[in-house]
Amino acid sequence: MAETIDGRKLARKIFLNLHLEMQQYRQHSCVPGLALVHVGKHPESQIYLRQKQKIAEELGIRVQLEHLSEQTNVEKIVDVIDRLNRDAMIHGILVQSPLPNRSQESEIFNHVAAEKDVDGFSAVNLGKLCQGDASGFWPCTPSGVYHMIQSTGIPIEGKRVVVLGRSLIVGKPMGLILMQNHSNANATVTFCHSKTRDMVDIMRQADIVIAAIGSPAFVKASMVKPGACVIDVGITRVPDPSKRLGYRLQGDVDFEAVSQVADFITPVPGGVGPMTIAMLMQNTFKAYQQQIE
């Protein structure tokens, strides 16, 4: 039976450390400032933003919410980002993904000043990750997954990793992080996507599987090598009349079945989600330190 990697517990540890570190800046004239830009009314995004705001404020980070209507054009969104880039009281800027028009995401992310890009989605920060330059910000979800894998104590070096999904915010940076030329990484990474052939054969060779495709319970026990570490990034609302809200959150992995064959597994909820927020807080604090020093 697989050991469950508890994202909430790991995140709590990170919040505690951040809280202690922030004490050193109590006397400073400005507190860390995080701007959350939300375009449209995506229901999950509203939930994630509320969670991010709550945790940030508990840590002493001042949060500024910028809500823009679904019809807001790129120029207007960029104007808001430019204003936040110039605001000395804002140290981190997050543009909540997905945007109503996903094809505009890269253009918009690239407008966030690299030193305030705490989500790590700008070309500068993704480029730094690609170059192995640690001065940038890593995207929060893959960074959180990396922490979770490290928490198991499994040596990553030389392991075969399969990443399901090749998005710019999860899949691609995830692979880049795990194949860094570093003794805590050095994995052999294979990416799978919607056009991949023989995916099950590829997956069955993986020591570590990271599922980030948004397809509920897609990963079955028969696709997983016995003893593998399985990380579930996916989150989808699936109808469930037994729940008060009429739905439940389902990951990309069939948790019960895969738990029977894997050595480590992450739950949904309570897995990667809390770690994504923890990494955002860490990045915001790093941005604050860099900007005030």
Q: Out of 13, 71, 79, 119, which one is annotated catalytic?
A: 119
Please say which residue, 93 or 192, places its beta carbon nearer to ligand NAP: 192
Nearer to ligand NAP, 165 or 267 (CB): 165
Dihedral sign from CA coordinates of 90, 75, 48, 173: negative
How many Cβ atoms are within 10 Å of 44's Cβ, its own excluded? 13
Residue type, 42: H
Residue 33 burial (10 A CB sphere; 0-12, 13-18, 19+) = buried
Q: Shortest gap between Cβ of 195 and ligand NAP (angstroms)?
A: 5
Q: How far is the CB of 140 from ligand NAP (least distance, A)?
A: 7
**Smallest distance, ligand NAP to C-beta of residue 291, A:** 25
Q: Closest distance between ligand NAP and the C-beta of residue 49, in Å?
A: 12
Q: Indicate if 116 belongs to the active site.
A: no
Tokens of 51: 């969670």
Question: Which CB atom, from 26 or from 197, has the smaller least distance to ligand NAP?
Answer: 197
Neighbours of 180 (CB within 10 A): 17
Active site residue 291: no
CA distance 28 to 289: 11
User: Is 195 assigned a catalytic role?
Assistant: no
Closer CB to ligand NAP, residue 178 or residue 213?
Answer: 213
- Residue closer to ligand NAP, measured from CB, 85 or 284: 284
Contact residues toward ligand NAP (CB under 6 A) are 141, 164-167, 169-171, 192-196, 212-215, 233-236, 272-273, 276
Q: Is the peptide bond before 239 cis (omega within 30 degrees of 0)?
A: no
| Shortest distance (Å) from residue 51 CB to ligand NAP | 10
Distance CA 151, CA 146 (A): 9
Select 135 or 247, whichever has its Cβ closest to ligand NAP. Answer: 247
Radius of gyration for the alpha carbons in the chain, expressed in angstroms and rounded: 19
| Residue 116 zone, left/alpha/beta (φ > 0; ψ -120 to 50; rest) | alpha
* CB 169, min distance to ligand NAP, A: 5
Q: Would you name the residues annotated as active-site residues?
A: 52, 96, 119
